[in-house]
Structure 1
């Protein structure tokens, strides 16, 4: 079947990197296109740490969308690893979507430097169009195009879905001819336990303030299925001992609240009942330790 589609010359496939500064709406855009939550998204910047792949397929096309961490100048080794994911996505992509927040369109220096290194077609995606008028959107686009050449411009709202169908049509027209890389019913290449760790990490961002979520990693120690229940044992790794008490809270109430919210989102994602056990461990300055960074999944593409 895959060969027949390829031989007719009708099937198209390719990799699309989604880049931009933190909070531009890259993860929300991926989720909107996929129709399912694959990439965690919160109101806080730098929620995404990995390259998250979503596989969009229809009869004659397969688009592999790569959501990436927001482009920044790294301050510690974990952030260097995050920017490594961005670089690999840039290298692997056939086309790059540069997502810009219409409510905050000024580009970071690191963002401009990354764009300067890209030799693939780059499409400007002006996101959050629901927050500005048509006239304002036009002025932002003109300003961005004055400083950089784009293959095309797309104005979307990842939140409402406005403009995303037109974006997909544009991508389909630009993709090279080729067979699908994955089965048509596959939505991502990451295993379930990866998404579970991400959903717990999302709740850390939603429930804790200031530096706490940025200092945490989530490590799935055990993930096993019984007949009617999935058992998950997860470690929340913190950067220093004082943060452990903040995660647990008075009488363990904060950790209990985190577990309850995490369990609800994981059950919704997995569509089955789970038992979730959360433990907090201290790994002093783990964000600057190469061995810890690799062991928590941040050392590869």
Structure 2
């Protein structure tokens, strides 16, 4: 096996793993959490990726979302990677801010110094890690879904829009729908990618849709009491882009819910069933 097991625990008749491996793309050790359901003992099963938000590691979704019970019922492998490279020699925000650097890889391949050496989360998730999952886990790679939260919602949408053949199901919780048009995204993209805003379009879901990318459907849940709603998330931009392009979108505004994992835990079952239906899971 290509993964080193850090921990494992029996969970709803399946197994929750935390793995570590040396990444070629980031040049660092990378951790990921993987839930393997009981059905994987008999045959390969579909895979759903979960990309987390700013400040998170592989642990947040795994511990807080309550996803394993439903994944066990439906027969879904859940893969939750870390959100950035980490290590003593990995550069961080010089001011120690939470929205850039460690824990804030934004799922891009950085091109600017000093970030370009390690911050290659796009290639890590699009090429390196899927190959390792296919090699090491009982995963049916012809049936993949992807979802994420906040920065990870941005990652899930953009990765899927760039590779619609790979992903049969896509969803997001409170995603950053247009990093080109919010402070978090402008800071990250200008530092990681440089000042040419045209080069940012590959990392903006609304821009990708405007430029012709399409998916069979997108599910988004957004809490109306989210403190980042108006300044950073702006779901109305995705709504408008999808409407103009004829891109199917199910956008559910959930009254009174905030940006936390309490919100995710409330609606995770809906999302997993959305994925299972489209992946032909049990």
The reply to whether TM is greater than 0.5 is no
| Between structures 1 and 2, the one with greater helix share | 1
> TM-score if structure 1 supplies the norm length?
0.30
